Structure 1
Amino acid sequence: MAELMTIARPYAEAVFAVAKEKNTLAAWSDELANLGAIAADPAMQAMIANPAYSDANIMDVFASVMGANLTNEGKNLLTVMAENKRFAALPAVAEIFEDLKAADEKRIRATVMTAFEATDEQKNKLSAALNAKFDADVEITYEMDPSLLAGIKIKVGDWAIDGSAVSQLNKLGAAIAQ
């Protein structure tokens, strides 16, 4: 996954620079989200990975699914990605673009994983704490992961906190083992 993000970053940064210059961030956001969703589809992933399909075949599928929503700039992006065999990186390009857009708009995206559904009060307290810590409007996506047992994991960009019970038990086990 980290390698895919490394591959995707230059594409996302280039698209972001063009979108920022032309004031088309929202349009690019929609187009990249659609292209990323198409590329993430299991059938499309199989087609991308299959050498029997040419880049032109794959681009035709993108064009037919997108229809009139595929801009000339979007076609150019697909052409460049085809030349470098990078279609599989499209979902990551869309994700990185959204992170760049959010940072530009002084918004930050966070992912919070909990073992159980967080209450509204907990969500409000966490939102206020993250907004204060990052001095920005933090958009929080909540995910449930029962394997955490209890506690919480928070990820904001490269910053992360693992306060899950599983993590604490692993630390305790490592400390006892020493």
Structure 2
Amino acid sequence: MAELITIARPYAEAVFAVAKEEGKLDAWSESLANLAAIVSDETMQAFMANPETQDSQVSEVFTAVLGGKTDKELDNLLSVMTENKRLQSLPFVAELFEDMKAIEDKKVRATVISARAATVEQKKKLSAALNAKFDAEVEITYEEDSSLIAGIKIIVGDWAIDGSALSQLNKLGAAIAQ
């Protein structure tokens, strides 16, 4: 997974730069989501993995599935990614693009994982703290994981903080072992 994200990052950055310059962030967002859905399809994956499939055939399928709704830049992206055998990274390109778009729109997505359900008061405090930290509107997804024992993990893009009891116990165990 990390390898595909590494491969996807330059493509996402290039697409974002073009989309921003042209003022087409929403259009590109939709196009990348469609491309990610196409490449994630099992039948399409089998077609692309077939050694007899030519690059031009893959491009034709993408264009057909998109209903001919492509432009020069999208065709260029597909051409380069097909030629370099990078189409499998399209879902990550779409994800990274959405992260960059959210930052541009001053919106950030966060995941908060806690051992127990957060109370309304805790959610308000977390929301206010994260909004201040990132100087943006933070959309928070809450998850529960009882294996954390207590505490929380907060993940925002590449930034993460792990204040769970499980993490602290693991650190203590590692320190004692040395």
TM-score bracket relative to the smaller structure: 0.7 to 0.9
Q: Which residue of 1 aligns with 2:85?
A: 85
- Equivalent in the alignment of 1:163: 163
Aligned-pair Cα RMSD in Å = 2.2
How much has 1:138 moved relative to structure 2? 1.6
Q: Is the 8 A contact 1:153 1:164 kept in 2?
A: yes
Please give the TM-score of this superposition, normalised by the length of structure 2.
Answer: 0.85
Output the CA distance in 1 between the equivalents of 2:154 and 2:34.
27
For residues 3-59 of structure 1, give each alpha carbon's deviation from its aligned partner in whole angstroms, at most 9, with x where no partner exists. 222211111111111111111111101111121122233443343333233223322
Structure 1: any 5+ residue segments left out of the alignment? none
| Structure 1 residues 91-132: Cα deviation after superposition (integer angstroms, max 9, x where no partner) | 111111112112222222222223444343332221111011
User: Cα gap change, 1:135/1:60 in structure 2, threshold over 3 Å: closer, same or farther?
Assistant: same
Aligned to 1:45: 45
Alpha-carbon distance change, 117 to 58 in structure 1, aligned in 2, over 3 angstroms: farther
Query: Which moved further from structure 2: 5-14 or 138-147?
Result: 138-147
Deviates more, 1:15-24 or 1:63-72: 63-72
Counterpart of 1:109? Answer: 109
**Corresponding residue number in structure 2 for 1:15:** 15
1:141 correspondence with 2:114? no
Provide the C-alpha distance between the structure 2 equivalents of 1:46 and 1:30, rounded to a whole number of angstroms.
24
TM-score, normalisation: structure 1: 0.85
> Which secondary structure state, in structure 1, belongs to the residue aligned with residue 66 of structure 2?
helix
Quote the Cα distance in structure 2 between the aligned partners of 1:45 and 1:115. Answer: 38
CA contact (8 A) 1:113 1:153 kept: yes
Deviates more, 1:92-101 or 1:104-113: 104-113
Q: Which moved more, 1:58-67 or 1:142-151?
A: 142-151
Taking the aligned partners of 1:81 and 1:121, their CA distance within structure 2 comes to 47
CA separation in 1, counterparts of 2:117 and 2:98?
26
The structural deviation recorded for 1:146 is: 4.3
Q: Identity percentage over the alignment?
A: 68
> How many equivalent pairs are there?
178
In the alignment, the residues of structure 2 paired with residue 43 and residue 144 of structure 1 have an alpha-carbon distance, to the nearest angstrom, of 35
What are structure 2's unaligned runs of at least 5 residues? none
Q: Which residue of 1 aligns with 2:28?
A: 28
Q: What do the CA deviations read for 1:58-110 (whole angstroms, capped 9, x no partner)?
A: 22332233224444432221111111110011011111111211222222222
Match of 2:66 in 1: 66
Does structure 2 conserve the Cα–Cα contact (< 8 Å) formed by 1:33 and 1:91? yes
Q: CA separation in 2, counterparts of 1:50 and 1:152?
A: 45
The change in CA–CA distance for 1:124 and 1:79 in structure 2 (over 3 A counts) is: same
1:127 aligns with 2:127: yes
- SS of residue paired to 1:67: coil
The farther-off stretch of 68-77 and 134-143 is 68-77
